[in-house]
A and B are shown apart, each in its own frame.
Chain A
């Protein structure tokens, strides 16, 4: 799977050659339109609406584990294998998604929306290995990708241009003033408020008091980005979009204690899931704000490698 910039043709070439060397038939399916519809367009819409989406999760949900699974079944395949660092464990006939063995590379977070029936036909052959073992194995087999750099960025955005150029070509970014919530002073300006993510520190200058500031609020309508001291912006709960909730097995009841992770390489935090008027997550320990549009993946408290479900952070 690859997102359509020039480098993706080179990725297809790599995949083809690796498949040839392993003796696997290589077929290329064109999902350009579906990718545009389910991943790229929502990515742009989300930014335009002031949210910070995770396109990799959307791609996994709507392209790999939706369209590709359906097609695989239609074409008579028994299973789908991907190269994610995560594992599927069967216990008493029930399939669980668990974290990959390499905790530096674990990708269970981006697979958090998979349902049990999908896990049953999913193979994750490298989930039990460390990335360095995978590379050693590939080198031993003479695969030309053995030392290919890890993919880091959003695959449909050219690395040389970046997110800002990509978005600027497609939507009008909102100029905004940056206001220090502590002093009420304007401390700067941005040409694209959409590019500022709640909780981020990068790109925000320290205030006059010399302390670090973090983005605490992005208001596109007012053209205003607020920054504050860490202790002032910490949050105790995260609002969840009920329509996005997905549970791997059973629905988690009100009051369920979970470990929650809200970024690809973040650390899971203890939290309690609440229904009430709105679904929300009460955090045991206050945390930096989480941008609307990001995903939260729930892990089992008693067995912290097991994924229980996922949801998208709502606008609070």
Chain B
């Protein structure tokens, strides 16, 4: 049976170029980059070359790149690291995040508030398309705000956020300005981060969403941001992330970043056409609603909801037909669960229970899109016939 991989937003296919770049650093002697001998220097050179490439990808200076164990850790370091530093000079600290953030951000923020009485979390509302309401941000900014975190694109719906507006408010409303962070993990395959995040202080990225290895990511600081390490360890990464730097992981991230940057324009053009085709087709299915249709979205993601179908059943039958897709929100058991993103957008509970995300990538073909359209239509028809 053919397999149609439409779950790039969960994890993108590993690129051969990435595996090739990592291979020399995955067997035999690999020096500890903190050491002083030849093998250590070789490893350190590879890490620093990787750092240069990641910096260029985000449009920042190499000194701002902190290699981490993945996207979740990057977001956690941004939120916890900046808030911990803020607490040193403030009686109270508030973390402002949008209501549609990935749990990597919201759980990190909520844990800080749980652990410290002087820390609170404020939420920025979104509109029906899932775009942050800048008035809501403006009304919540205060002298206590430690950090504002708004994602570049939503991992469930693909909806992009007005980061320039977020930065402009964060820098101008409060004297001295508030530090901004963006979780750019879902956006990294689809937008030029150097321009889109140009006004944002901190950017989290993750390798496996762009064809690299899992457990590899970076938090990139633009300009002058001070944060406290979550993992102090041995002072690596200029004291901002302890633990031996994983050479293979850094090299893999750099290779994925290089491929993404080189192919960005072409892939975007091509996948945008596929997205338009997929959206037009699913809108013909009765009762199918495309999420965030009124907003700017990344090219790879099409998120839809049905008010009379269950994600569980859709995904099961799609899987039987070889389509790998996702409900985009799941609980710890792995089962589909109602999404906080859709709730924040005001989507009804019934509709949220029938959500489906189809996410494409660089290697997705038009033939695959045609096949998935046919399979999805058939599955929906069958479920309604059996109901």
| B262: Cβ under 8 A from any A Cβ | no
- Please, could you name 23 A-B residue pairs with CB atoms under 8 Å apart, sorted by A? A8-B333, A9-B332, A12-B334, A27-B312, A27-B316, A27-B319, A28-B335, A29-B312, A29-B335, A30-B312, A30-B331, A30-B335, A30-B337, A32-B331, A32-B337, A71-B312, A73-B386, A74-B383, A74-B386, A74-B387, A75-B316, A75-B317, A76-B320
Known: A27-B316, A75-B317. 11 other contacts (CB 8 A): A9-B332, A9-B333, A28-B334, A28-B335, A30-B331, A32-B331, A73-B386, A74-B313, A74-B383, A74-B387, A76-B317
Interface bits A1-17 vs B (CB < 8 Å: 1, else 0): 00000001100100010
Q: Lowest 5 A-B CB distances belong to which pairs?
A: A30-B335, A28-B335, A74-B386, A12-B333, A29-B312
| B336: Cβ under 8 A from any A Cβ | yes
B387 contact set on A, CB distance < 8 A = 74
Q: How far is the CA of A232 from the CA of B386 in the complex (A)?
A: 56
Q: How far is the CA of A9 from the CA of B333 in the complex (A)?
A: 5
A28 contact set on B, CB distance < 8 A = 333-335
State how many angstroms separate the Cβ of A35 from the closest Cβ of chain B: 12
Main secondary structure of the interface of A (DSSP, over half): helix
Name the interface residues of B340-373: CB closer than 8 Å to any CB of A.
none
Q: How far is the CA of A12 from the CA of B333 in the complex (A)?
A: 6
Interface bits A73-89 vs B (CB < 8 Å: 1, else 0): 11110000000000000
A75 near B335: Cβ-Cβ < 8 Å: no
Total residue contacts A-B, CB cutoff 8 A? 34
State how many angstroms separate the Cβ of B381 from the closest Cβ of chain A: 13
State how many angstroms separate the Cβ of B382 from the closest Cβ of chain A: 8
Q: How far is the CA of A29 from the CA of B337 in the complex (A)?
A: 9
**Closest residue to A30 on the B side, CB-wise?**
B335
State how many angstroms separate the Cβ of A13 from the closest Cβ of chain B: 8
Name the interface residues of A106-148: CB closer than 8 Å to any CB of B.
none
Interface centre among B317, B334, B336 (most CB of A within 10 A): B334
Q: How far is the CA of A73 from the CA of B172 in the complex (A)?
A: 59
**Closest residue to B334 on the A side, CB-wise?**
A28
B317 contact set on A, CB distance < 8 A = 75-76
**Closest residue to A6 on the B side, CB-wise?**
B332
Q: How far is the CA of A12 from the CA of B320 in the complex (A)?
A: 21
Instruction: Kindly state the interface size class of chain A when it binds its partner.
Output: 10 to 19
Interface size on B, residues (CB 8 A): 16
A29 contact set on B, CB distance < 8 A = 312, 335
Name the interface residues of B277-320: CB closer than 8 Å to any CB of A.
312-313, 316-317, 319-320
A71 contact set on B, CB distance < 8 A = 312-313
Interface bits A146-181 vs B (CB < 8 Å: 1, else 0): 000000000000000000000000000000000000
Q: How far is the CA of A9 from the CA of B317 in the complex (A)?
A: 24
A75 near B333: Cβ-Cβ < 8 Å: no
Q: How far is the CA of A251 from the CA of B76 in the complex (A)?
A: 63
**Closest residue to A26 on the B side, CB-wise?**
B334
Q: How far is the CA of A32 from the CA of B335 in the complex (A)?
A: 10
Q: How far is the CA of A30 from the CA of B332 in the complex (A)?
A: 11
B332 contact set on A, CB distance < 8 A = 9
Name the interface residues of A17-53: CB closer than 8 Å to any CB of B.
27-30, 32
A74 contact set on B, CB distance < 8 A = 313, 383, 386-387
State how many angstroms separate the Cβ of A118 from the closest Cβ of chain B: 17
B313 contact set on A, CB distance < 8 A = 71, 74-75
**Closest residue to B327 on the A side, CB-wise?**
A30
**Closest residue to B333 on the A side, CB-wise?**
A12
Interface centre among B316, B337, B387 (most CB of A within 10 A): B316
Q: How far is the CA of A9 from the CA of B334 in the complex (A)?
A: 9
State how many angstroms separate the Cβ of B100 from the closest Cβ of chain A: 21
Q: How far is the CA of A73 from the CA of B386 in the complex (A)?
A: 8
State how many angstroms separate the Cβ of B304 from the closest Cβ of chain A: 19
Q: How far is the CA of A16 from the CA of B334 in the complex (A)?
A: 10
Q: How far is the CA of A9 from the CA of B386 in the complex (A)?
A: 31
State how many angstroms separate the Cβ of B159 from the closest Cβ of chain A: 24
B312 contact set on A, CB distance < 8 A = 27, 29-30, 71
State how many angstroms separate the Cβ of B316 from the closest Cβ of chain A: 6
Interface centre among A8, A16, A29, A76 (most CB of B within 10 A): A29
**Candidates B319, B336, B386; contact of A30 at CB < 8 Å:** B336
Name the interface residues of A54-92: CB closer than 8 Å to any CB of B.
71, 73-76
B319 contact set on A, CB distance < 8 A = 27
Q: How far is the CA of A74 from the CA of B308 in the complex (A)?
A: 14
State how many angstroms separate the Cβ of B341 from the closest Cβ of chain A: 17
Q: How far is the CA of A76 from the CA of B321 in the complex (A)?
A: 13
Q: How far is the CA of A25 from the CA of B320 in the complex (A)?
A: 11
State how many angstroms separate the Cβ of A190 from the closest Cβ of chain B: 36
Interface centre among B317, B383, B386 (most CB of A within 10 A): B386
Name the interface residues of B48-97: CB closer than 8 Å to any CB of A.
none
Q: How far is the CA of A29 from the CA of B333 in the complex (A)?
A: 9
Interface centre among A12, A30, A76 (most CB of B within 10 A): A30
Name the interface residues of B130-164: CB closer than 8 Å to any CB of A.
none
Interface centre among B333, B334, B386, B387 (most CB of A within 10 A): B333
State how many angstroms separate the Cβ of B328 from the closest Cβ of chain A: 13
Q: How far is the CA of A74 from the CA of B333 in the complex (A)?
A: 23
A12 contact set on B, CB distance < 8 A = 333-334
Q: How far is the CA of A27 from the CA of B320 in the complex (A)?
A: 11
State how many angstroms separate the Cβ of A80 from the closest Cβ of chain B: 14
Q: How far is the CA of A32 from the CA of B329 in the complex (A)?
A: 14
Q: How far is the CA of A190 from the CA of B166 in the complex (A)?
A: 58
A9 contact set on B, CB distance < 8 A = 332-333
**Closest residue to B353 on the A side, CB-wise?**
A33
Q: How far is the CA of A74 from the CA of B320 in the complex (A)?
A: 13
Q: How far is the CA of A28 from the CA of B386 in the complex (A)?
A: 21
Q: How far is the CA of A76 from the CA of B319 in the complex (A)?
A: 13
B386 contact set on A, CB distance < 8 A = 73-74
State how many angstroms separate the Cβ of A47 from the closest Cβ of chain B: 27
Q: How far is the CA of A8 from the CA of B333 in the complex (A)?
A: 8
